[in-house]
Amino acid sequence: MTENTPNTAGSSIQNEPAYLLIGVLQKTHGIKGEIAMRVVTQFPERIRTGKSVFLGEDHEEYQVVSVRWKNTLMVLRFAGFNNPEEAARLTNLEVFTRTRGLPKLPEGQYYHHQLIGLKVWQADEYLGELVDIMETGANDVYIIASEESQELLIPAIPDVIKKIDLEAGTIQVELLEGLRD
């Protein structure tokens, strides 16, 4: 989930969201004010002690004072939260980071928020708009909404994705046999 709003907290790139979803707070953990978070970011290692995150719809800033893993959940403690009752107020809140300052990815790699909204073309045929990305493990699958109100699922593999042009807002593809049947 991203939010496309002009905001000085976010990127200077037009239509890039100001904040990116990185997790969802679940339930309190222990007696020291910790809370477990289901991680949805591709880069959880950037959530570190001393960093700020932004919680809820209002993107209220909170400083992380401790981070540790418990199985598949990240356990966080925020400044000013010292017991389970205080931390319980944060249950079910979404956790965001700012897009401004995200590390540059190597050439040919993109953050998902950069791809959402791009127009997808095969040669001169407009296929639709990339509306979501499904992570499957082997490769991502791009979900394209066509003008006929149908979804087209396109594997994000080099044989299919021929060119991504962020400045032009387009993705050029070459569909494999059977993808549009």
Q: Are residues 94 and 34 in the same domain?
A: yes
pTM of the model: 0.65
CATH number, domain with residue 167: 2.30.30.240
Range 87-110 average pLDDT = 89
Determine contact, residues 87/27, Cβ cutoff 8 Å: no
Give the structural domain span for 122. Answer: 114-173
Alpha-carbon distance of 16 to 7, in angstroms, equals 10
Q: Note whether residue 109 is domain-resident.
A: no
- Domain endpoint, select from 98, 128, 144: 98
- Domain endpoint, select from 65, 98, 131: 98
Q: Note whether residue 129 is domain-resident.
A: yes
- Give percent of the chain above pLDDT 90: 66
CA angle 42, 11, 166 (to 5 degrees): 75
- Give percent of the chain above pLDDT 70: 88
Q: Are residues 30 and 92 in the same domain?
A: yes
Torsional class of 104: left (φ above 0), alpha (ψ -120 to 50), beta (otherwise): beta
Structure tokens at 116: 């959402």
Q: Are residues 25 and 92 in the same domain?
A: yes
- Structural domain count of the chain: 2
Q: How far is CA 69 from CA 29, 33, 41, 75, 145, in A?
A: 12, 15, 14, 6, 37
> 158 pLDDT band (50/70/90 cuts)?
very high
Q: Are residues 165 and 89 in the same domain?
A: no
> 76 pLDDT band (50/70/90 cuts)?
very high
Range 51-66 average pLDDT = 96
Per-residue pLDDT reduced to its tens digit, 118-137: 999 999 999 999 999 998 88
Q: Are residues 55 and 119 in the same domain?
A: no
Q: Note whether residue 22 is domain-resident.
A: yes
Residues in the chain: 181
Q: Are residues 88 and 146 in the same domain?
A: no
* pLDDT at residue 111, as a whole number: 85
Per-residue pLDDT reduced to its tens digit, 7-24: 333 333 445 678 889 999
CATH number, domain with residue 7: 2.40.30.60
